[in-house]
Amino acid sequence: MLARRQFLQGALGAAAMAAFPANRKPYRIDIHVHLGRNRQEMGQMSKDKLADAVQYLTGEMDRHDVSKALIVAVEPQFPTELYMEAAKLSSERLLAACSVIPRPADAAIEKLKAWRERGAKALKLQPAQYDPRDPAVEQVVAEAVRMGLPVLFHHTDTPKSFPDMLSHFSSTFPTGNFVVIHFGGVYGFWDVLPLARLPNVYLETSTAFARIVRSPLRSMLHFLVEEQRLNKLIFGSELPGEYGAVTGAIEELLGSEAGPDVRKAVYRGNAERILKLTVSGRRAQEEEERDRWQKTGEIFSALGVREGSRIAELGSGRGYFIVRLARAVGQTGRVWGVDIAEGEVKQLRLRLEEDEIENVEVVHGDTKDPKLAPASIDGILITDAYHEMTEYQAMLAAARQALKPGGKLVLVDRVRKEAKRQDLSKEERDRQANQHQIAPELVEGELREAGFQIIERRDPFVDRPGDSVHWLIVAGR
């Protein structure tokens, strides 16, 4: 039986590797693994065995191209203290998930805070330790979400009350991220499959998943295919010895038609984002909040963004608009991110590399010149950066030169709500800039002086709670 299992794991693992291009070695992130070679060792782990267990785990990770792994504690069987110590032994490769028993809630929250301060990257909740209807669970989950920790629900077989609880958490805590370990179990997965529709719920691939894919129950997974929810899977193994079987089952379900975006999401993209391992991941919560008020779609419409467009952003920072523009213009389009700050340029390049975005060129410009080729750009965007420009006449001239005939320049900036508009436009420009604002009337005059035609002005454009209101101006070359 053991020989057959080893053969199966090897064969499935080989099939998984064959699915990736030979010229680029893939890497994966395991979001759920325990220490030990097997379940017996897993349950008998102790401090004196940690070094050997970590060496074995990282060796298996190397064999299966797993770059990082989240080792998951389960109190009291696999103590968090032990797993935190293990993560230190290979800090570049291993992250630790803490575990707390939800009741009493006050004590659980204090423990959670302590583990978070020591570097825990996720919270694990074990079904034997709580009732899904217990309000203490929600208190602990709320605290985890507040701290930016994803919550892993460990269910070999799902109790009937669990889907209702998780659906409630998903809507109550929209910035939270929730992972159903073991795919909900062989006898419970059907109840959790619909949860894949929820934007912040993921189904993890260890144990039950591989068994389901290799059984007649596989036909029940067509729901994920038909509704294009395969990207809601998230790679996890439970034990490093299961890597071959799990990756093989994933590839068997994905098949040859699954695109690279789906594979990336399953094997590492989802984990990178919810564990905040990339620049984008670390900014995910901030940018999700910004998405609710930024009116990105209206800005892109004003720019005339479409498939194949060539768009530049001046003052691109760390890439909020750049990554969204890259998706909007598609692979036939091109985006330029221009900034004068070397640190911002480096951060944007790192973000694009991590997210494998290939249709963006990052430009280290200067205060007078965005360094864009003449008549090469369909649209230029400047958001909350124009008031900071000291050489704005030269920058506007260079922007106009870079635009194609008929190209558009879109500026979004702000003015303080208490400012008197009739007086503000007459103030010295430096004084406005020092207050991090600029009057749209003043900007329109500067655009006309630079040879632009004012097409549209929306004032206010975004009126958020606070002391400033944003305006938008569209100008033509």
371 pLDDT more than 90: yes
329 pLDDT more than 50: yes
Instruction: Give the pLDDT score at 22.
Output: 35
The answer to whether 224 and 196 have CB atoms below 8 angstroms apart is yes
Model confidence pLDDT, tens digit, residues 440-475: 999 999 999 999 999 999 999 998 888 789 999 999
Instruction: Give the pLDDT score at 449.
Output: 95
The answer to whether 335 and 360 have CB atoms below 8 angstroms apart is yes
Strand 403-416 and strand 377-383: the pairing is parallel
360 pLDDT more than 70: yes
Asked whether residue 290 falls in the same domain as residue 266, the answer is no
15 pLDDT more than 50: no
11 pLDDT more than 60: no
Asked whether residue 172 falls in the same domain as residue 264, the answer is yes
The answer to whether 69 and 35 have CB atoms below 8 angstroms apart is no
CATH code of the domain containing 412: 3.40.50.150
Last residue of a domain, one of 254, 277, 300: 277
CATH code of the domain containing 10: 3.20.20.140
Q: 140: part of which helix (H) or strand (E)?
A: helix 135-146
- What's the pTM value of the predicted model, to 2 decimals? 0.69
* Tokens of residue 78, six digits: 């696999």
Q: What is the DSSP string of 291-357?
A: HTTS-HHHHHHHHT--TT-EEEEES-TT-HHHHHHHHHH-TTSEEEEEES-HHHHHHHHHHHHHTT-
Model confidence pLDDT, tens digit, residues 115-152: 999 999 999 998 777 888 889 999 999 999 999 999 99
Binned at pLDDT 50, 70 and 90, residue 2 comes out as very low
428 pLDDT more than 70: yes
Q: Cβ–Cβ contacts within 10 Å for residue 89, how many?
A: 15
Asked whether residue 449 falls in the same domain as residue 333, the answer is yes
Instruction: Give the pLDDT score at 6.
Output: 41
How far apart are alpha carbons 328 and 13 in whole angstroms? 36
13 pLDDT more than 80: no
Give the strands of the sheet with 334-339, arranged side by side: 360-364, 334-339, 310-314, 377-383, 403-416, 468-476, 453-462
Asked whether residue 162 falls in the same domain as residue 311, the answer is no
How far apart are alpha carbons 354 and 450 in whole angstroms? 38
Model confidence pLDDT, tens digit, residues 151-194: 999 877 667 788 999 999 999 998 899 999 999 888 888 888 99
Model confidence pLDDT, tens digit, residues 256-302: 878 888 999 999 999 998 998 887 777 776 787 888 899 999 999 99
Asked whether residue 273 falls in the same domain as residue 293, the answer is no
Asked whether residue 26 falls in the same domain as residue 158, the answer is yes
Q: What percent of the chain has pLDDT over 70?
A: 92
Asked whether residue 235 falls in the same domain as residue 326, the answer is no
Binned at pLDDT 50, 70 and 90, residue 422 comes out as low
Give the SS3 label for residue 455: strand
Last residue of a domain, one of 218, 248, 277: 277
Model confidence pLDDT, tens digit, residues 70-86: 999 999 899 999 999 99
- Domain range for residue 446? 286-476
Asked whether residue 317 falls in the same domain as residue 219, the answer is no
The answer to whether 90 and 52 have CB atoms below 8 angstroms apart is no
Asked whether residue 370 falls in the same domain as residue 421, the answer is yes
Asked whether residue 315 falls in the same domain as residue 397, the answer is yes
Instruction: Give the pLDDT score at 12.
Output: 40
Q: What is the residue-averaged pLDDT of the chain?
A: 89
The answer to whether 199 and 173 have CB atoms below 8 angstroms apart is no
Give the SS3 label for residue 442: helix
Number of domains in the chain: 2
Asked whether residue 247 falls in the same domain as residue 290, the answer is no
Asked whether residue 118 falls in the same domain as residue 256, the answer is yes
Instruction: Give the pLDDT score at 420.
Output: 66
Q: What is the DSSP string of 83-130?
A: HHHHHHTTTTTEEEEEE---SSHHHHHHHHHHHHHTT--EEEE-GGG-
Last residue of a domain, one of 238, 256, 277: 277
Instruction: Give the pLDDT score at 24.
Output: 42
